[in-house]
Amino acid sequence: MTTDPWQDLLGCLDLTAHGTGTGTGTYEGRSQQLSYRRLFGGQFLAQFARAACLAAPGKALKSLHTQFVREGRTGEPVRYEADVPQHGRTFATVRLTARQEHGVVAVASASLHVWEEGPDRQTAEPAPALPGPERTVELVLLPWESRAATDLDTVQSEPPVYELWTRIPAAPSDLGPALLAYATDLTPIGTALRPLEGLTQADAGRAFASAVTAHTVWFHRPFATGRWLLLRQHSPLGAHGRCFGRGDVLAEDGTLLASYAQEALLRFGG
């Protein structure tokens, strides 16, 4: 039976609560049905985001910092243990641990906040025009339409920058942060590889080994799914077997919605 990737992802975000109480809780989510050798890091980000919001209801996710401890196993659910050391009137903090049968696979710290009124300003370059449908790109792990004016996986040496337009299908508003976090995990390593002539992400496991070690997302404004978003990212550093990248998420009108940063293993040879 063929699984609809979008419905599969939504199903993974339908976490089951176990033994929730004041300041604690455990949530379980099934894993995506992907032909991928390990669990996609975006799944952990999305499920961490959902668990944090469930553990501290009434507040919006402000930031999510995740560290990946070991590879997650496909075909096995993930348990998220939540500890809430602070849940005040406007802010909350949630510590999360993701476990599978072989042990801890990732840990995260989430901060939540009640949206408040106040001065509103930003400093960000305007969003370029949305590329036409002829610039559609196929990204297997993103189960929705994406476009880009440049090729991420070029074999030419190019600057370590990349702009991806992506349109998450309309979904319940409480799933928005999780789905956005999921989308930010896919292309930072590929962006870091762009200056290296003759190498692309397709060479992973042969010419180099790669794995995300840490990923942080900051949510600046509420937003709605079903609209085009621009993921504008660059990688300022690759050194000592690691690469680092950061990016912004903008609405089509240029409104800055979120920012993110990622560190990953990028080991060549041997």
Residue 67 burial (CB < 10 Å; 0-12/13-18/19+)?
Answer: middle
Amino acid in position 228: W
- pTM recorded for the entire structure: 0.95
- DSSP-assigned letters across all residues of 144-182: SEEE-SS-TT-SS---SEEEEEEEPPP--GGGHHHHHHH
Q: How far is CA 196 from the centre of its chain?
A: 24
Tokens 């790669």 belong to residue: 210
Amino acid in position 246: R
Please answer whether residues 156 and 202 qualify as being in contact, where contact means their C-beta atoms are separated by less than 8 angstroms: no
Q: Which two tokens stand for residue 81?
A: 């243990």
Q: Which two tokens stand for residue 13?
A: 């975000």
Could you tell me which of 140, 246, 149 has the C-alpha nearest to residue 202?
140
Strands 78-87 and 60-68: unpaired
Angle at 24 between CA 23 and CA 26, to 5 degrees: 155
Q: Is the pLDDT of residue 10 over 80?
A: yes
What value does the mean pLDDT of the chain take? 94
Q: What is the mean pLDDT of residues 231-241?
A: 96
The confidence band for 270, taking pLDDT boundaries of 50, 70 and 90, is low
Could you tell me which of 248, 254, 250, 233 has the C-alpha nearest to residue 126?
254
Q: Is the pLDDT of residue 179 over 60?
A: yes
Q: Is the pLDDT of residue 181 over 50?
A: yes
Question: How many C-beta atoms surround the C-beta of residue 93 within 10 A?
Answer: 17
At residue 229, the pLDDT reads 98
Name the more confident of 191 and 36.
191
Q: If you ran DSSP here, which 8-state letter would residue 75 be given?
A: T
Q: Which two tokens stand for residue 130?
A: 């949305």
Share of the chain above pLDDT 70, in %: 97
Which positions ≥6 away from 11 have C-beta within 8 Å? 30
The confidence band for 1, taking pLDDT boundaries of 50, 70 and 90, is very low
pLDDT digit string, tens, across residues 73-124: 998 999 999 999 999 999 999 999 999 999 999 999 999 999 999 999 999 9
Question: How many C-beta atoms surround the C-beta of residue 110 within 10 A?
Answer: 26
At residue 158, the pLDDT reads 95
Share of the chain above pLDDT 90, in %: 87
pLDDT digit string, tens, across residues 134-161: 999 999 899 999 999 999 999 999 999 9
